[in-house]
Every structure is written in structure tokens, then in C-alpha cells.
Amino acid sequence: MRPLRLDMAGFTVFRDETTVDFTDADYFALVGPTGSGKSTVLDGICFALYGTVPRWGGARGIVNALSPSATEARVRLVFESAGDRYVATRVVRRDGRGNVKTAGAGLQLMPSGFDVTRLDTGMSLDDLGEVLAGTPAEMDKAVIDAVGLPYEQFTSCVVLPQGQFADFLHAKPATRQQILVNLLGLHVYEEVQQRAAGRATTAEAKLGAIDQMLEGLVDADDEAVAAAEAELIRMRELATAVEAAVPGLRETRQREATAAQTRDALRAEVEILTGVRTPSGSAELVAAVAQAREAAAVAADEVRGAEEREEKIRGELTAAGDPGSLKLLLDRHAELDRLGGQAEWFAGEVEVAEVEYKDAAAAAELAQHAHTGATQLLEQARADYTEAQKLDRAVALRAHLRAGDHCPVCEQTVADVPAMPEGSAVQAAEATGKAARAAAEVAEAAWKQRDAVARKLESNLERKRAQLEHHMTRLAEVRALLADKPGVDAVEQQLAELNRLQKHLREAGVRVKASREAQRKAQRAVVVAEEQQRSAWRSFDATRDAVARFGPPPADRDDLAAAWSALVAWASTERTNRTTSLGSAEDAVSSARDATRSAFDAVAALFTSAGVSSPPGDDSVLIRAAAVAAERAAATWQRLVDRRTQAQDLTSQRAGLALQVRVAKSLAGHLRANNFERWLLEEALDLLVDGASGILRELTGGQYDLVHEKGEFWVVDHFDADLRRGVRTLSGGETFQASLALALALSEQLAGMSATAASLESIVLDEGFGTLDAATLDVVAATLENLAARGDRMVGVVTHVHSLAERVPVRFEVHKDARTAYVERVGL
């Protein structure tokens, strides 16, 4: 894996959009002050690929991906692996509740020759190439397929972060072995062994299935095919013979059917003629119709007589007068008597009302005069009161005057002041006024009361006068109405005559209703009798129509009994003639049936001779049965031919499968128990340790060699009598040197170890170069320069050691201000 471009926005310290362009950076250094964000660039590479970072402590540390106060972080990595170019993208967002989740993840295979600088144009992800993964779950497998390493091995062999640089050196043998399996692609041999074993199992299963199928095909041999072919020829000959014989059989059947039809027709005619019989009661129907018609005529005469009598009484009733008018005359006579008696009473009431009104009017007039006098006295008292007020005001002014003073009213000198009167004039006037006002109020109340009584009596008088006038007017009207009318006795006699006539009219109506009901019953009896007669004729017509084709004699439509007698006699003669012909027809049918049976037996013999049961049924069934027998024989023969061919093919397939089983089992046996893989790992580890030992010897000035035994790493200290001790006893600087030697050996020798190895096209070291002395640092720098000079992989270091950074041709200087970190490329 070789990174080409890294884009970050909102990612940890890189709050603003930042791009790191690794194009043509075969050997580079990430430099900058401590805490500026150098290691964060490597974190961005790991996060884009695997969704996590070593120092975050797993996937739950994803909250660390967001810059402070940022709600979204975007990381995009463009890289090459095994000659293909990919782009990995991850987006992290914080929701409204503060939860941080991966909002998007994807891996795409970019087109060949794609210009990475086109990403600066704001291209959509859909334009970047073929989508290999679109969700975080899909990303896990897609990235491993593209890079060739899972996350743990990627951080041990490609990007070596702080604190994990010595992981491969200190790893357990099993872990280190798995890393080498992935790096060298040795899992392919395990897959080959598994596939070989699977193929052997599959081939054996197929062999078992073929053997079972062959057991079911043992009857499909050449002898069975020949026997089926002979049976087919025999059945075809049967079909041909049956087809030739069936036309004769059909002719005999047709002759038999014709004879049977003639016989059946004679039987049917005899049966029809036998059914011609005179029905009972035919003669009585005519007499019943005549009696019913005579009774209906009598009932009609009675109806006419009753209606004439009713009409005569109705005329007499009309001439006798209107009962309503007569009753109205009686009411008017009664009203006249009542009005005459009430006239004197109404006149007396008017006279009494007139006297009462006159008395009340006189009393009201006297009360009015008294009220007028009291009112005048009240006005005089009011005038006296006004004058008394003036006198009292003058007296009040006089009380303050002395002889010789000026008068306040006329402004003249007062020569003499009159004596002061005793008492107040106003008080005396007030007493007089109160008495006058009380008298006026009493007089007014008396006048109003008497006036109201007079008005009420006047209204009562007017009402009674109106009643008297209305009564007298009505009395005159009634007298004028009855002036030329009959008296009460005459009217009552006329009403009695009318009642008598009405009673006779009701009785006549009852008789008319009864006679009409009797007429209706008689008419219904005529209808019933005539319908019975028509039904009898219809029965006769139906019987005659049934034998009309035999030529019956004409019928007398006036005499039903005679018509039936003539028809029955004719039917008897015709039945006798047809009975004689029926015997000859029976003989003809019997002869035709014998001929048909002989023809059918001849066809059945064909089936018997061919070894096939003769089917029951008509002629078409015989032909069909012969054809079906031929078709079944053909199907049996074809099935045996096909089964014989199938058996031959399966035998050939079995030979091939048996060979596959032998080859697959042999290959699986050679690769079983990982013997081959274990040998390859031992050889690869020997080569790796030899290469790392040479690099370590150069880095330590010849002090240390690296060896391994049973999967564990040891160092041989040549400065201490070649003492061998574990790598965990090395100091921090010595551990860095040993880890660097292993990392460089992996980078240098991996490609030569296996053609199917993981693509280690880059190595980035983020570990303590500051712990090395100047001489060792110079050796490390020269080693890295030689590794980068080969041009087959990218080499990167993360350091703040100035002397080392100065020797690197491409430097990415990382700076950080109060808002964000940013990266500046310096050098080539």
C-alpha cells in the first residue's frame, strides 16, 4: 500500500480542510513541534482505511475523530496497492444529542490513469470509480482485500505508530506467524489443501450418486432394447390390421342401428295409438254449460227488476224535496221564537243602563266643579305665599336698618324705621297653602273616580244598545225569510215523508246488491263450465295432434262425444296394423345384431393374437386402443434406448471422477497438517532474521546479531562473549534499533519471499529517533536513504530531530495555531 493523497476536514486538530499530497514523495519526513499533529497525519491514514486509530483504544474512540466544537469530520485517502488505485472515504457526525457515529464510509476502485488533482474540483464520490464498499461493514473486507493486511498487521508492518514500533519484535510466536502468513500470502496453500479436500469429497459424492444411478439402469442392455423393438413391430402391425377391419364392423353396426330404429319407431307408434281413449264425463260437459248459461240469464233479469224499483223510489225521493232545506226551515222557526222572547229583555237592559249612566254623569260633573273651586283656592294660596316671602325679606332688611341709614334697595336715606311685626308671614302662608293643596288633591281624586265610573257606564250603555240593535236586525231578517214559507207542522210532515222514502230506497239498494251478487256467481259458473268444455276440446286436440302424422279422420267441432268416438275407432284399426309389422321388424334387428357380433369378434381376435386385451367400447375405441398399444411400445423402446445411452455416459463419467478423487486426495494429503506452510514459514523467518541481523549489526557497530529459536527472538552480544539473551532485555534505544532492523528487513525482503505477498509498498516510522546517539542516528539515516534509493517503496519518518529531517528530501512541516493545524510541503 502506497498513500498518494490525504484530505482531512474537522479531523482532530485539523479543523479546517487540509490536504497532504504524497505524490513523488518516495522518502519523506513529517516534522514539527511536539503536539503539532504529526502523528495525526498517520492517524488519518489508518482511520480512512480501518475506521480506528491505535492510540484511540478501539472503535469506541471514534468520538476523538471530531475537532472540538465540530459536528462533522471527513477523511479521504487515495492510495495504490498492487498496481491498482483506490480511494477510501469516511465521514463522522455528531447528532443533536451529542452522539458521534459514522455517517458514511466507502471504498472505490479508481479508473486507470485517473488524475488525483481532479479531486480539487469538488468531484462527487459517484464520479471516483467503481464502488467496492458503501457501508462500514462492507469496508472491513474490501480494505483487507485491497491492502492485503488486517488492521493489527497493518500497524505492525506498514504504519508503525508511537508505542507499537516493537510489536513485531515482541509478538508471540503464533501472532508473528500469522503476520508472516498474511504478508507472504501463505494462506493460499491452506486454501489449496481445503479446496483439494473439498473436490475429493465432492467427486466421491458424485461417484456414489453415479453408482446408484447405474444400479437403477442394469435392465437397460442390448437384449432388452431388441425385445422392446420386436414388441414395437408387433403392435404397429396390430394397429394396421385393426384400422383395416374397423370399416366393415362399422357397416354392420350401421345396418343394426337402422333395423333397430325401424323397430323402435313401430313400437312408439303402437304405444301412441294405444293411448287414444275417450275421457270420462265428456257428454255431461255440454249439459252443464247449458244449465249455467240459463241460470245466468235468470240472474240478469232479477238484477234489472231490482234496479228499476230502486230508480223509481229515487225519483219519488227527489220530488219530495230536500231534507236539508226542510231542517233549515225548522231551525229558522225555532230561532224566530227565541229572538221574539229576547227582544223585551234587551230593551229593559238598555233602559236600566241609560238611568245608571245619567246618574254617574251628574255626579262626575258635580265633582268636577268641586275640583275647580279647590284648584282656585290653591292658586290663591300660592300667590299669598309669594307675597309673604316678599314681606319676610323686607322684614329681614329692616332688622339691620337705623334711622338715617341708606336703604339697600332704593339707596335713599331712611328717616324712620317701622316697627318689626310679630311672627313670619311665610309660615302663615305655608299653613294656608298646605290646607288648600290637601283640599285640591281630595277634590281631584273624587272627580277622577266619578268620571271613571261615568265613562264605564257609558261604555256599558253603548254595548247594550249595540246588542239590542243587532238582535232586532236579526229578528227582522228571520221574519222576512219565513214570510212566504210553510209553517212548522207542514215542514215536519214533509220530513216524515222523506224519511219513509229513504228507508224504502235503502231496502231497494240491498235487493239490487243481492241480485247483482247472484248474477256474478251465475256468470262465474258459466265461465267455469265453458272453461271445462274448452279444456276437454284442448285435450282432444292434443290427442289428435299426437297421431296427426298417421292421418286421423276430421272431427265434428259441435259434438265432443262423437269426435272422441270416431278418433278412438280409427286408432284401434291403426294399432292392429302396426302390431303385425312390429314382428317382422324384430326379426330384422336380431339378424343384424348377429352380423355385428361376428364382425366384432373378428377384430377382438386380432388383439388376442397380438397378446393385447380387447377393449370394450365402440369402433373408435378399438382403433385408439391399437394406436395406444403401438405408442406405448414405441415409448418403452425409446426409454430403454435412452437409459442404455445414459448408462454408457455415466460409466464414462465415473472413470473421470475416479481419477479426480485420486488426484485431489493425493494433493490434500501432501498439504495436510500445514506441514508445507510450516516449512515455508521457517524458511521465511530464517531469511528475515538473517537480513535483520545484518542491519542490526550495522546499526550497533557490530555489537549485536539477531537469531531465533522456536519462534522466539534472541540477540547475541559480541561485546559480552557472544552472550545470547532475550530481546526484552534490550534497552529502549537498543529495542528501537532491533525493531527498525526487523521493519527494514521486512520491507526489503518481503517482495522476494513470495510472489503472492501483501503489497508492502511503503513503511512509515513514528518512533523515538531522539533516543539515538549521533553515530547511531547517522547509521539509521543512511540505512533509510539506501532503502528509499531503491525506488520500489515509499519510506516515511515522523520526527522532530532536526539533523535527521535535514537529510530527508521531502518534508511535510506540520504547524498548529489557535484554530487548526495545517501541513506545508517543503522540498521536491
Q: pLDDT category, 81, cuts 50, 70, 90?
A: confident
Q: Outline where 125-186 has alpha helix (H).
A: 136-147, 151-157, 167-170, 173-184
CB–CB of 154/50 below 8 Å?
yes
> What mean pLDDT comes out for the span 336-354?
74
Rg (the chain; Cα; Å):
74
Nearest to residue 30, comparing CAs of 762, 821, 797, 808? 797
Q: What is the pLDDT of the chain when averaged over all its residues?
A: 79
Q: Which three cell numbers stand for residue 126?
A: 459517484
Nearest to residue 630, comparing CAs of 352, 322, 229? 229
* Per-residue exposure over 208-242, b if at least 16 CB sit within 10 Å of its own CB, e if not: eebeeeeeebeebeeebbeebbebbebbbebbebb
CB–CB of 177/711 below 8 Å?
yes
From residue 249, give the alpha-carbon distance in Å to each of 33, 242, 243, 263, 597: 119, 10, 11, 21, 9
* Per-residue exposure over 344-358, b if at least 16 CB sit within 10 Å of its own CB, e if not: eebeebbeebeebbe
Residue 673 has pLDDT above 60, yes or no: no
* Total residue length of the chain: 828
> What mean pLDDT comes out for the span 198-226?
78
**DSSP three-state, residue 483:** coil
pLDDT at 19: 93
Residue 257 has pLDDT above 90, yes or no: no
Using one digit for the tens of pLDDT, what is the confidence trace for 105-127?
Answer: 999 998 877 766 667 655 455 56
Residue 823 has pLDDT above 60, yes or no: yes
pLDDT at 645: 82
Q: Which residue has the higher pLDDT, 493 or 571?
A: 571
CB–CB of 769/779 below 8 Å?
no
> What mean pLDDT comes out for the span 408-412?
74
**DSSP three-state, residue 97:** coil
CB–CB of 9/90 below 8 Å?
no
Looking at mean pLDDT, say which of 86-95, 158-167, 494-503, 693-702 comes out highest.
Answer: 86-95
Residue 10 has pLDDT above 90, yes or no: yes
Residue 221 has pLDDT above 70, yes or no: yes
In the block, cell 529517533 appears at 769
- Measure CA 66 to chain center: 43
Residue 11 has φ and ψ, to the nearest 5°, of: -95, 110
| Cβ neighbours for 429, distance < 8 A, ≥ 6 positions apart | 381, 384, 385, 387, 388, 389
324 sits in the region (left: phi over 0; alpha: psi -120 to 50; else beta) called alpha
CB–CB of 46/143 below 8 Å?
no
Cα(453)–Cα(450) distance, rounded to whole angstroms?
A: 5
